[in-house]
Amino acid sequence: MALKKDSNSLGSKQEKSRNEDSSLQEFKNLENKKEIESQLLEVSKGDDNENGFLDFGFNQSILNSLINKGYKNPTPIQKAAIPELLLGRDLLGQAQTGTGKTAAFALPLIEKLTDNKELNAKVLVMTPTRELATQVAESFKSYSSESRNFKTVAIYGGTDYRNQISALKRKVDVVVGTPGRIMDHIRQGTFKIKDINCLVLDEADEMLNMGFLEDIEWIIDQLPENKQMVLFSATMPSEIRNIAKKYLNDPAEIFIKSVKKETQLISQKFLYVQRHHKLDALKRIIELNNDGVIIFVRTKLLTISIAEALENSGHTVAVLNGDIPQNQRENTVDRLKKGFINILVATDVAARGLDVERIKLVVNYDFPFDKETYTHRIGRTGRAGRSGEAILFVNQREKHFLRNLENSTRTKIEEIKIPSNKTINEKRMEKLIDNVNESSIAKDENEENKALIIDVLDNLKEKYSMNDSNIAMAAINLVIGNKSFFVNDDDTWINKQNNTDRNRSNGNSNNRMRNSNRRNNYQNDSFETYKFNFGKFDGVRVANIISSICNSTNINGRSIGKIQIFNDYSLVDLPRDLHRETKNKLKKIKVRN
């Protein structure tokens, strides 16, 4: 529930009635008035006869876009934040993705920019990653899809500057971007910021985790002084409170306690599996559930080999990793949304911010580096109020991490067993029965065709003396094809994994996840120190190093350890198990060009 400080009444009455007047005017011009009216009634009634979005006084174009999106009622964060933002107040919000926070700030900001004809951007939204930037920009575009001449531009690293520069030259209302690229454009004068009157910091804690504090402060200092400031963060550590104190002016504070609710919808499970049996275990899990799955692995190479293995087993699979160009990634996500692909094998960085409602299962094939990565991964399912399942693969050495993860997330993760041949065969039989039953009902042939099929049956009976059950068996064999229907691979290894008693793990008290200071979390033996030929003399800062490493390789910002910057070189602790290909990329990375 929302806990609001200094709450105000919904918007100003004047503004509301002005909006209602103009909405009415638009109504008169519409030929399909009745249609729109009935849709509006839908919006206003909502699911539980609440007031829907009408109370905010949004203009007709926004209401139409909400109808298109199928939104009926504002979520708690939207109820709390929209009125405050419409009034022009600063806002400090604690909320995670999945709560509807993007619409909570996008809708009022679009409303306030209705009929904006000026060339320069008015709103800047800063996000920690390019994935989130794309997602937030897409949200702005869809909420403003019915608003004439409303322009949102996304600017983030890893893509060509030219398109971004030419988009910024034309009329822009909202710019969404990552700190590094925003700074570059400001410095080059390609992003004109003199008219920015609102700044949104989205996932501020994540930006701090990635070392962007100095960049954020630099950007804030460049922007005009009198601007509305909005800060959203999933957690509220003291660093975020300090930023809020420093830059926000008497903000409305909104706290949405959604995490528990959200993860409650996700049933969290784990299974013990030794490294060399992981792929087999995965195939067995996928056999039982292959409709909307994301599998998280640690390296790009693994995304490819696993996708190939699953494809060979007959599944529709795609990969999402740092090597895949941005436009191809977008295409992959789109195909996943539309159901052309059922399974995605991804690295953490590539799947940041991914929002696909049909994901039913998240498989943590490789153990996540920390609690935040785990929470982010499993949050890819259970979207928009749906339920989902998350399965974590755990090997002998990771047992104590499991217990730490349970402690830090305050969740009991339930143990499940790797599906045996018996379980899989039962599932196959169930599916076959359903399929046969469905095709007996669904065939909608005309009488003439039905008579022809009965002829076929009569023929089989007379010519080959087959009875009904012989014919049925033959038909089922045709459906099954040449392959053996039942799996009978050796599955004795499964019991050996399952006999591992989780309580035998001694739960190392110097565990890696307990310490809240992530960079000091890891024991030295999980890292190797890399030396890079840039340092203070090159003007390099921690944030530059992290973003270059994350953007050039598949290494997740969270898995980067200690960073020490000396005058002409820097030392960076990186995970010990990096792939050769990643190491080659590291040799070539450039920081600040």
Interaction site with ligand AMP (CB under 6 A)? 71, 73-75, 78, 97-103, 355, 383-384
E-only strand ranges, 377-425? 388-394, 414-415
C-alpha distances in Å from residue 538, one per residue of 532, 541, 592, 593: 12, 9, 9, 10
33 sits in which H/E element? helix 33-45
Rounded to 5°, angle at Cα 380 from 376 and 385? 115
Our CB check for ligand AMP shows the closer of 103 and 549 to be 103
Minimum CB distance to ligand AMP, residue 66 (Å): 8
Our CB check for ligand AMP shows the closer of 142 and 421 to be 142
Minimum CB distance to ligand AMP, residue 175 (Å): 18
Minimum CB distance to ligand AMP, residue 65 (Å): 11
Our CB check for ligand AMP shows the closer of 73 and 178 to be 73
C-alpha distances in Å from residue 201, one per residue of 352, 355, 439, 557: 17, 19, 53, 19
The whole-angstrom separation of Cα 391 and Cα 167 is 42
**Which ranges constitute the DSSP H helices of 347-398?**
371-378
Contact criterion met (CB below 8 Å) for 387 and 267 = yes
Minimum CB distance to ligand AMP, residue 214 (Å): 27
The encoded tokens of residue 42 equal 């839908």
The encoded tokens of residue 325 equal 């160009």
Our CB check for ligand AMP shows the closer of 10 and 476 to be 10
The whole-angstrom separation of Cα 111 and Cα 84 is 13
Our CB check for ligand AMP shows the closer of 99 and 127 to be 99
Minimum CB distance to ligand AMP, residue 48 (Å): 13
The three-class DSSP label of residue 70 is coil
Minimum CB distance to ligand AMP, residue 142 (Å): 8
Our CB check for ligand AMP shows the closer of 164 and 233 to be 233
Our CB check for ligand AMP shows the closer of 105 and 270 to be 105
Burial group, residue 333, by CB count within 10 angstroms (0-12, 13-18, 19+): buried
Q: What's the distance, CA 111 to chain centroid? A: 26
Minimum CB distance to ligand AMP, residue 356 (Å): 9
The whole-angstrom separation of Cα 487 and Cα 485 is 7
The whole-angstrom separation of Cα 280 and Cα 427 is 17
Minimum CB distance to ligand AMP, residue 317 (Å): 23
The three-class DSSP label of residue 223 is coil
Tally Cβ neighbours within 10 Å of residue 389: 20
Minimum CB distance to ligand AMP, residue 99 (Å): 5
Our CB check for ligand AMP shows the closer of 99 and 404 to be 99
Minimum CB distance to ligand AMP, residue 93 (Å): 11
The whole-angstrom separation of Cα 529 and Cα 532 is 10
Our CB check for ligand AMP shows the closer of 329 and 541 to be 329
Our CB check for ligand AMP shows the closer of 78 and 553 to be 78
Our CB check for ligand AMP shows the closer of 280 and 357 to be 357
Minimum CB distance to ligand AMP, residue 416 (Å): 28
Minimum CB distance to ligand AMP, residue 107 (Å): 9
Question: In DSSP terms, which residues pair with 344 in a beta bridge?
Answer: 294, 318
Our CB check for ligand AMP shows the closer of 384 and 472 to be 384
The whole-angstrom separation of Cα 276 and Cα 493 is 11
**Which ranges constitute the DSSP H helices of 443-486?**
447-464, 468-480
Q: What is the DSSP letter of 305?
A: H
The whole-angstrom separation of Cα 191 and Cα 38 is 43
The whole-angstrom separation of Cα 304 and Cα 345 is 8
Tokens 């030392």 identify what position? 571
